[in-house]
Chain A
Amino acid sequence: MADYRLDCMGEACPVPLLKTQKKLSGLNIGDVLIVEIDHSCAMKNVPEWARKEGHNVDIEETGDGEWEIYIEKTK
């Protein structure tokens, strides 16, 4: 189990979600992916997708208009 970071700062939709999907598919179960974003739409569609897939998700607002999305891969 390890932590991975994915920098999506400055990326517009749908790039953050596509990068997250790609990155997460290569991780092992139990790994945590931390996605850094500053796109207000991605802070909604990335967690929504991850929750729907059944992963554990946590959003943390790290600055003005900046978020870190924690996704723990469960399957």
Chain B
Amino acid sequence: MANTVNQANTRTASARATAKKRRNQLPFAILLLIGIIIFGFVLNGIGVKLPIYWIFGISFGIVLQKSRFCFTASLRDPVLTGSTSLTKAVLIAFAIASVGFAAIQYSAVQAGNPVPGFVSPAGWHTAIGALLFGIGMVIAGGCASGTLMRVGEGFMMQWLSLIFFVVGSLWGAHDFSWWKATFMTNAPAVHFPSLIGWPAAIFGQLILLGALYLIADWYGNRRSSQNS
């Protein structure tokens, strides 16, 4: 075998040669962009709030795809491959979102409104549901946002997964009353700032996320030095 430097050079040259032969899909992207804009106007005729959801959906899709952001990998890779780079990215996203959400919730409460956001009963149903979801996302190769993104990327496995995701959701909705009667009714919906005050809740959460970040960073470095 020739040495790597030469190999790399030949490869780059051949890569350029093959790259020329590749189809340019940019025209399709431009056609799709026109379609996206037209559909936005169609939605505007159906309901004034719908174009907002449309624009947010498109933005989420682009960001998820371009950054290859994957909640599944952030939870799976530390145990499976030893990588924590997505775990750290998720913790950063949580910290930023927490600050923004705190501002939104605080101003709503100050105005005398109920606490906005997703605060749901916490109990055994949360634990069992999360366990099921965790197993499912790893074997199916993507969670909800990841599956939708990969549907758009042309993964037929995720098309199938999405169909059964919908079937599973319907099944869960069918059984929901049982779970509600058995576990949810007595489970508390705890909003930390309402319980321990805003400063303690916000700083407590940021410190916890920061600590998890340091652990993830240490673990990621430790795993890679061990392997080598």
Taking chain B's interface residues, is the majority helix, strand, or loop, or is none over half, making it mixed?
helix
Contact A14:B81 (CB < 8 A) given known A60-B11, A75-B228: yes
Is the CB of B145 closer than 8 A to any CB of chain A? no
Per-residue B-contact encoding for A44-60, CB less than 8 Å = 1, 0 else: 11001100111010101
Collect the chain A residues with CB atoms within 8 Å of residue B227's CB: 53
Check if B157 sits within 8 Å of A12, measured CB to CB: yes
Q: Cα distance A41–B77 when bound, in Å? A: 13
Check if A3 sits within 8 Å of B1, measured CB to CB: yes
> Once A and B bind, how many residue pairs between them come within 8 Å at the CB atom?
79
Taking chain A's interface residues, is the majority helix, strand, or loop, or is none over half, making it mixed?
mixed
Collect the chain A residues with CB atoms within 8 Å of residue B197's CB: none
Check if A65 sits within 8 Å of B154, measured CB to CB: yes
Interface residues on B, range: 35 or more
Q: Cα distance A63–B22 when bound, in Å? A: 6
Collect the chain B residues with CB atoms within 8 Å of residue A12's CB: 141-142, 150, 155, 157-158
Per-residue A-contact encoding for B53-84, CB less than 8 Å = 1, 0 else: 00000000000010010101100110011010
